[in-house]
Structure 1
Amino acid sequence: MPIVRPTCSICGKQSLTIKKYVNHCRSHIHDRNSRFPCCVPTCIRTCYTYKGLTSHIAREHNDYFTTYRPNQLQANEYRNVGITVRCTLEFCQRKCSDLKELLAHSKEHLTGGLRVSCPFSQCDKLFNKKSSFSSHISRCHKNYCVQDVNPLYIIDQNIIVGPEVGVLQHDHAGAQDPQQQDLHDDQNTFDNEDWSSDDNDTDEPGIAQYTKYIAIFLLKLQAKYMIPDSTIQVIIYKSKLHQNGTDQDLVEDIAKGVANLGCSISPKSDLINTDREQYPESGTLGSHYLRQKYYQEKMKFVSPVEIVLQEKTKTTKKHCCHYVPILETLKVMCEDKSFQSHTQQTDYGYNEFRDVQDGKAFKDNPFYSANPDALQIILFQDAFELVNPLGSSRNKHKVVGVYLTLGNIDPRCRSQIDSIQLVMLCKEKYLKNKAQIITGPANIVGEYRTPQSYKRAIQELQDNDAQKGENCDGIKVDSLFNSLSHFHVANPGLPPCLGHDLFEGIVDFDMALFIGYFVDKKWFTLELLNQNLQRFPFRGNDAANRPATAVSKVKLGGQAVQNWWFLRFFPFMVYGLIPNTEDCVWQLVLKLKDIVEFVVSTNLQPSQVAYLEVLIHEYIADRKALFPQPLRPKHHF
């Protein structure tokens, strides 16, 4: 009878017991985009954090450790990494990584007014309401397992069925495997505090493994949580003092216990190695220099290259930028197991727009049509202020950052910080003086910019021997990106930025115009609006992005997400103050809100895209008719 062995879905390592499997998962705590599937047979739960895994096993499978006997497992039981399932609606056919995602997707269909069926075998119920569907799953299929899923929904199932993939086999004579006894040793209790590492269950020596964990932790403090290096040094020093004191107390406790048994130990230091110099907080990671050296030698490090833009002279400083080689970065990313596990197919066959791969610009690209598995490099840039507390637009020490991510990464992970790689850093004033202007992502008023019109504008500039700063149809120079074989900035290749163009461009200034109109009509005052904004009961994630409270008739003054939140909740904050809800400007506010809701939607049907185009044309026309202020260039994007 085959025995299922818990196997890590990240590195493939097999463990003899569930306890050892959980201990091993601890080594992937700092891995990017890591997921921790429950290893109890018939359980298909996948946890997003290590703490979630330990809590799930302790809460859901506590009794399992007193009844678990590997030789009682059946050959047809699935390993619980999960199954790939799909939506059975003919027009959808969406693939889901697990059953939980399928259930959430089915609820989206119910919200949209569609009818869905129960995805479990021997259950043919149909549902029209989301609440009925959720109640049915909770009442009738609360303790579902993989075997309960209707085969019509299953695309692929991860099953371990042979010894070559980690299954222990008994011979027909009933001989006991020498490791069989270890499979259920120490399983009568389950205590999170008792999960100590097993030397035989790690791939590296104890000190090396411990040093790696500490190094990743310190690097995350410095790079992700922006903890100053001086503070990290204090943390290391205090940890060293605490560990030394703990070692001494441990020696004394063991010596007392041995003495109570009638034995003696001399010297006491033989009980434990109290020389901490081999440990990272004393040696390998003991200083900033040693930590940087360890990061470069032991981790996947891509060294930045300094590019000199202007040499130092008697009157000017040296101007430079720092570039992280893209090819080396891509090589490191492709070698990362977390990247390999989160890549996606470029075409799911959806009849809707969910990602960049669903758009015409991508599908008509000859390179990606001929090479569907090629890396989809997405570059973007943003400027930020380093030390000025007055805001990012004061331009004192403003730095431009260029970043990279890949369209091959699952959209749910693509925008996470761990999936975004740095390409270049440069002071904005250096970049304006030396870097070439990249133009092409916009519409010309009255004409959509195409590669042909772009080329005509460049030719006209050359024929007229244009001086620096002059433009033709908004184009000043030819973009270097146009030298690429399968790319052109007006193809379109440079999409508008949602944050800058929509929320900090259109929403920021148009909402200020609308508020000024309402104030002039004496429907409310700016003071009353700001008071309502301060008192509004934001909750959860909404509270973290609370809009700015210095709204004026000129601009909202908030960051992109704050302006988005302001537009979302503005109708609720002032609805009782609007005496005429049929007012043309109030309707314009609601129309802008509808446009934003469509733009930020995770998926759109082709009919909704057509309706969005109509909404945008109506909004632009009404905006021009109602307000004398000219349209901003961002309106034409």
Structure 2
Amino acid sequence: MIWQCKLCSTSVSSRPQLFKHYRLSTATFPELAPFHASIMISLNALRTHLSRTHTAQLSSSAEQSRETALFKCPLCTFQQPFSESVFCHLRRHLKNHETVACPYRDCNYSTNVYSSFNSHKSRAHQASLTSDFQSAIVSEDPQNLQASISEVTGDLDEECPGQSTEVGDDDQCDTVNLRNQLKMNVSSLFLKMQAILHVSNTATQEIVDHLNQIFSLSQPLIKEAVSDILQRNGHNIAEPTLDEVVSAVIDSNILFTATSKGAELSSYKRRKTFIEHNYPCVMPVEYQLEQPGHTVMYVPILQMIQELFRNTDILNKITEPNTEPGQYVSCSDGSHFLENELLSTGDLILPLQLYIDDLEIANPLGTSRKIHKLCAVYWVLANVSPKYRSALHAIQLAILVKVTDLRKYGYAAVLAPLLHDVRILEEDGVFIERVGQNVKGTIFCVSADNLAAHGLSGFVESFKAGYLCRFCMATREEFQATEPKTEASRVDSVLVSALPEVAQAHIRRQTTSDIIYHTSNVTIDGTNYVCGMFVSVGASGGLSTFCKIEQIYLVNHSVSFLCSDYDSWYVEHIRSYELLATRTSLSIHLQSDLNDTVPLSAYKIGGSLLLTPKRFLQVKQN
């Protein structure tokens, strides 16, 4: 049986060999069980995870049936125990533009287009039971190929017994390739110390020098140990030969030979050169602004996208279904995504989410305040599931610039390299080797705090500036001196007698006219109210209550809201209110009755109607 690495294209014939590949090449251990995706940092962590999480699942599966389904690829000789990962194998054929028939029973669909296959599966086939597949592709395996927990842990012990890292006689490997791979592991350790553990270059070099000194001073101990072993076994060798053996043992220590004086990893500069030549690095490009000495550092996003998709796991996370009917699960469920001509095509698209923020690299309270302040622009793939997208290693840096240069030359000059690549991504796309075609994308949204959002949009960043409004050029003095205005969209007349009783009683106290006006959209003092929005009115149990605007009446230059009342419960862990409509309760309110003049929009999650206040609500007792 063929075992496939989840992180690259390597295939091996046994599970112990797969564990060895993970240990040598990737230093991480993806879970082999098909229940969910997990990546462990060590074999012991994988063993612990299996015993804690999946013992009951695999035990119940073994009790139900000792026979398991076996997947057989119709296009090649590949076969493995059935799981969701079989689609990863079929997608590899699609990447080579081979025609793949749908494996589900009673389905005649076939295609050689990667994105079309994914769209068909997500639309037509949600279930993944073995009975839903064609018998020629998924069949019962009489040899019971599915591994139990004991079998998996047994293979773990076979590959990694305790802390041993020996290579058995029956599993000899090319020593040259092994030496090169171990050298890559050493360089990966130094890279992790610098990028993740934040060990300084000076401290790293100090560690390297001390380790080399320890290895050099330990040669007499190695010589004594080798000599004792040879004498116990009846071998006496000459002193020059013994020195040669000791020298060979020392040279077999990859950490010593790779970091000794003049070696590839002996100094910071050499380590940097080695990493640049042997790792998929995308080096930042320095762009000069109008004057010398004023630059912006840009990491090309097109090259970064190509390097990201060299990891097979990224492509699988993007193409896996991530939607649920009636719920907002991902960015593809929103109206902005569905109405965008590029994003809503159904093909493989790369929506980018940008984030802009300023940061201080010096003490912000000392004499260096604002001198070394930087503005950073980050990006992430928006169609990756949030549980993966929120990880720090999934967030990529695009631009780094001094805030003083940003304010002097503006966002247009600083973002020019990024926008140039985004235009190429929109018009021509970027070639993804594993897909075998150009994939297009665009900027889906930009996230920022208030100051960065004001600066990017061209507004004054200071909250004490003379121009306060985001929608007009009114000054602070004009706000104080100008009388507030009420503006309405389309206005229609309506008979008072045709209104609900609560509205009739309220209107009769304001006018004797039999006809009034109503609208669906009104702006009061710059605040827009639309039918269907929620407002906070009154209190219950010390908490604000809410009602939904059903109709808006204009009576004697005043605005009244006819609302349907809702019961509300405060959900503390998400800091939102859960709403439940009362069947017949209607009420009418003026703007002065509201706890807060800012209207709110409710949203549904899992069948519950939720509402999140934008700011603190000072309740008014009616």
The TM-score with structure 1 as length reference comes to 0.50
Residue 379 of structure 1 and its aligned partner are, at CA, apart by 1.7
For residues 20 and 250 of structure 1, do their structure 2 counterparts lie closer, same or farther at Cα, with a shift above 3 Å needed? farther
Letter in 1 for 2:403: E
* 1:537 equivalent in structure 2: none
Structure 2 distance, partners of 1:592, 1:393, is: 44
Letter in 2 for 1:83: S
Structure 2 distance, partners of 1:189, 1:325, is: 41
**RMSD across aligned positions (CA):** 5.3
* 1:416 equivalent in structure 2: 391
**2:45 is the counterpart of 1:52:** yes
Unaligned residue ranges in structure 1 (runs of 5+): 63-72, 86-94, 96-148, 168-183, 313-317, 439-478, 503-508, 510-579, 627-637
* 1:27 equivalent in structure 2: 24
Deviations 1:433-481 (A, max 9, x none): 212379xxxxxxxxxxxxxxxxxxxxxxxxxxxxxxxxxxxxxxxx999
* 2:84 equivalent in structure 1: 84
Deviations 1:403-448 (A, max 9, x none): 121123332211212212111111112111212379xxxxxxxxxx
Counterpart contact for 1:388–1:396, Cα < 8 Å = no
For residues 594 and 294 of structure 1, do their structure 2 counterparts lie closer, same or farther at Cα, with a shift above 3 Å needed? closer
* 1:387 equivalent in structure 2: 362
Structure 1 distance, partners of 2:282, 2:5, is: 28
Structure 2 distance, partners of 1:417, 1:350, is: 30
* 1:225 equivalent in structure 2: 197
How many residues align? The count is 393
**2:235 is the counterpart of 1:263:** yes
Structure 1 distance, partners of 2:37, 2:422, is: 48
* 1:465 equivalent in structure 2: none
Letter in 2 for 1:402: V
Structure 2 distance, partners of 1:186, 1:353, is: 41
Structure 1 distance, partners of 2:167, 2:619, is: 68
* SS of match in other structure, 2:84: strand
* SS of match in other structure, 2:289: strand
Match of 1:301 among 267, 277, 281: 281
**2:330 is the counterpart of 1:355:** yes
* 2:164 equivalent in structure 1: 194
Structure 2 distance, partners of 1:23, 1:388, is: 47
**2:230 is the counterpart of 1:238:** no
**2:31 is the counterpart of 1:36:** yes
* 2:259 equivalent in structure 1: 281
Residue 625 of structure 1 and its aligned partner are, at CA, apart by 7.6
Structure 2 distance, partners of 1:186, 1:400, is: 47
Counterpart contact for 1:84–1:156, Cα < 8 Å = no
Structure of greater Rg: 2
* 1:553 equivalent in structure 2: none
* 1:311 equivalent in structure 2: 291
Structure 1 distance, partners of 2:425, 2:35, is: 49
Counting only pairs closer than 5 Å after superposition, residues 486-505 of structure 1 correspond to structure 2 as: 494=445, 497=448
Residue 239 of structure 1 and its aligned partner are, at CA, apart by 2.5
Counterpart contact for 1:23–1:197, Cα < 8 Å = no
Deviations 1:489-532 (A, max 9, x none): xx996455489899xxxxxx9xxxxxxxxxxxxxxxxxxxxxxx
* SS of match in other structure, 2:314: helix
Structure 2 distance, partners of 1:359, 1:402, is: 24
* 2:129 equivalent in structure 1: 151
Counting only pairs closer than 5 Å after superposition, residues 87-126 of structure 1 correspond to structure 2 as: none
Residue 370 of structure 1 and its aligned partner are, at CA, apart by 2.4
Structure 2 distance, partners of 1:496, 1:197, is: 51
Structure 2 distance, partners of 1:349, 1:187, is: 41
Residue 388 of structure 1 and its aligned partner are, at CA, apart by 1.0
The TM-score with structure 2 as length reference comes to 0.51
| Identical amino acids, percent of aligned pairs | 18
Deviations 1:300-359 (A, max 9, x none): 1112111122424xxxxx221111111111111122334234323476353200111111
Match of 1:370 among 337, 341, 345: 345
For residues 435 and 410 of structure 1, do their structure 2 counterparts lie closer, same or farther at Cα, with a shift above 3 Å needed? same
Counterpart contact for 1:46–1:81, Cα < 8 Å = no
* SS of match in other structure, 1:27: helix
Deviations 1:127-159 (A, max 9, x none): xxxxxxxxxxxxxxxxxxxxxx993898899x9
Deviations 1:17-38 (A, max 9, x none): 544332222135456xx62326
For residues 244 and 21 of structure 1, do their structure 2 counterparts lie closer, same or farther at Cα, with a shift above 3 Å needed? farther
* 1:206 equivalent in structure 2: 178
Structure 2 distance, partners of 1:596, 1:377, is: 28
Structure 2 distance, partners of 1:341, 1:485, is: 21
Structure 2 distance, partners of 1:60, 1:247, is: 46
Structure 2 distance, partners of 1:284, 1:231, is: 18
Letter in 1 for 2:408: N
Structure 1 distance, partners of 2:272, 2:2, is: 39
Residue 584 of structure 1 and its aligned partner are, at CA, apart by 6.1
Structure 2 distance, partners of 1:248, 1:393, is: 53
Counterpart contact for 1:321–1:424, Cα < 8 Å = yes
Structure 2 distance, partners of 1:624, 1:59, is: 49
* 1:405 equivalent in structure 2: 380
Counterpart contact for 1:368–1:374, Cα < 8 Å = yes
Structure with the largest fraction of strand:
2
Counterpart contact for 2:377–2:397, Cα < 8 Å = yes
* SS of match in other structure, 2:411: coil
* 2:8 equivalent in structure 1: 11
* SS of match in other structure, 2:401: strand
Letter in 2 for 1:195: T
Structure 1 distance, partners of 2:134, 2:176, is: 34
* SS of match in other structure, 1:423: strand
Counterpart contact for 2:301–2:421, Cα < 8 Å = no
Match of 1:435 among 410, 428, 436: 410
**2:321 is the counterpart of 1:329:** no
For residues 361 and 45 of structure 1, do their structure 2 counterparts lie closer, same or farther at Cα, with a shift above 3 Å needed? closer
Residue 292 of structure 1 and its aligned partner are, at CA, apart by 0.8
Unaligned residue ranges in structure 2 (runs of 5+): 56-65, 72-78, 88-126, 146-153, 414-418, 428-441, 454-462, 464-538, 547-567, 579-601
* SS of match in other structure, 2:280: coil
Structure 2 distance, partners of 1:498, 1:59, is: 41
Deviations 1:537-590 (A, max 9, x none): xxxxxxxxxxxxxxxxxxxxxxxxxxxxxxxxxxxxxxxxxxx99446899x99
Structure 2 distance, partners of 1:291, 1:189, is: 31
Deviations 1:191-239 (A, max 9, x none): 2222335674579612211110111111111112221101111122223
RCO higher in 1 or 2 (8 Å CA, sep ≥ 6)? 1
Structure 1 distance, partners of 2:388, 2:381, is: 10
Residue 376 of structure 1 and its aligned partner are, at CA, apart by 1.6
